[in-house]
């Protein structure tokens, strides 16, 4: 999943970025509202963590312009402003959740996971496909009672494919979700990750189909003997 963190407190920004990356997110970070607004005119994210007290353009204005463009991307507001009026204003402008500083990191990450789930899996912490169950809370995928041993990028790819089950996911979309803007990943690298994950899933009768010219599709492996 790809996350945008908009925060101008450098110490907090660095800590949050490290934590989100460790949890398997591709994270882009920006420190002012004007830059965030420009970025969000062309780049899509799975979730946005947005501070209100930003230089150049307030978080309120970033959120207002985002919603005016028709974007439904989940937004979690971070702020030191504790009064009810600002909380109501943020929610009325289209924020999905609100967390007041200081906060516990574990709570922030849980809220981010909940926002992503709310949009794509009906709010459940677990995503299922065939015999697979992906628990987004502890970042583990099970095939029955067997835990799959996956790299961080294999895990991120599998999560994306399971969230988009029965839909074709383009190679471009995969590249966007697996890395942030300061990382580089080639189409060949994506193919390698897909190939490695495919081998691990085939054992459990799950396949990643290549839809030529379009992308990849998660499907149940067809029984060749039927």
CA dihedral 84, 104, 60, 28 (to 10 degrees): -170
Residue 226 has what pLDDT? 41
Measured in degrees and rounded to the nearest 5, phi and psi for residue 52 equal -90, -40
CATH of the domain at 53: 3.40.50.2300
Domain range for residue 116?
Answer: 2-120
Residue 64 has what pLDDT? 93
Residue 181 lies in a domain: yes
Q: Are residues 9 and 114 in the same domain?
A: yes
Residue 225 lies in a domain: no
- Of 102, 120, 138, which residue constitutes the final position of a domain? 120
Q: Which residues of the chain have pLDDT under 70?
A: 82, 119-125, 181-182, 222-226
Residue 225 has what pLDDT? 47
- Reported as a single tens digit per residue, the pLDDT across 33-55 is 999 999 999 888 889 999 988 99
Contacts of 218 (CB under 8 A, 6+ apart): 129, 161, 162, 164, 165, 166, 206, 207, 208, 209
Supply 147's token pair. 């835990």
Integer Cα distance of 27 and 196 in angstroms: 24
Residue 182 has what pLDDT? 64
Q: Are residues 135 and 113 in the same domain?
A: no
Residue 181 has what pLDDT? 66
CATH of the domain at 146: 1.10.10.10
CA distances from 209 to 15, 43, 103, 185 (A): 38, 27, 43, 21
Q: Are 29 and 7 in contact (CB under 8 A)?
A: yes
Residue 226 lies in a domain: no
Q: Are residues 136 and 95 in the same domain?
A: no
Residue 212 lies in a domain: yes
Residue 6 has what pLDDT? 95
Q: How many CB atoms lie within 10 A of CB 126?
A: 12
Residue 165 has what pLDDT? 78
Q: Are 112 and 49 in contact (CB under 8 A)?
A: yes
């Amino acid at each position: 999943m790809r996350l945008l963190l908009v925060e101008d407190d450098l110490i907090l920004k660095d800590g949050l970025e490290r934590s989100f990356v460790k949890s398997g997110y591709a994270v882009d970070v920006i420190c002012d509202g004007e830059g965030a607004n420009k970025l969000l005119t062309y780049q899509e994210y799975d979730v946005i963590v947005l501070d209100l007290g930003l230089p150049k353009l307030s978080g309120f204005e970033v959120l207002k312009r985002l919603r005016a463009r028709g974007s439904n991307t989940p937004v979690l507001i971070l702020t030191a402003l504790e009064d009810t009026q600002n909380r109501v204003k943020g929610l009325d402008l289209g924020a999905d959740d609100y967390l007041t500083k200081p906060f516990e990191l574990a709570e922030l990450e849980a809220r981010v996971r909940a926002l992503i789930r709310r949009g794509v899996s009906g709010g459940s912490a677990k995503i299922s496909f065939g015999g697979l169950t992906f628990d987004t809370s502890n970042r583990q995928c099970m095939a029955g009672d067997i835990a799959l041993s996956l790299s961080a990028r294999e895990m991120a790819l599998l999560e994306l494919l399971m969230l988009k089950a029965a839909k074709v996911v383009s190679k471009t979309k995969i590249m966007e979700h697996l890395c942030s803007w300061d990382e580089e990943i080639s189409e060949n690298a994506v193919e390698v990750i897909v190939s490695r994950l495919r081998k691990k899933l085939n054992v459990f009768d799950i396949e990643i189909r290549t839809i030529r010219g379009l992308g990849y599709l998660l499907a149940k492996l067809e029984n060749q003997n039927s």
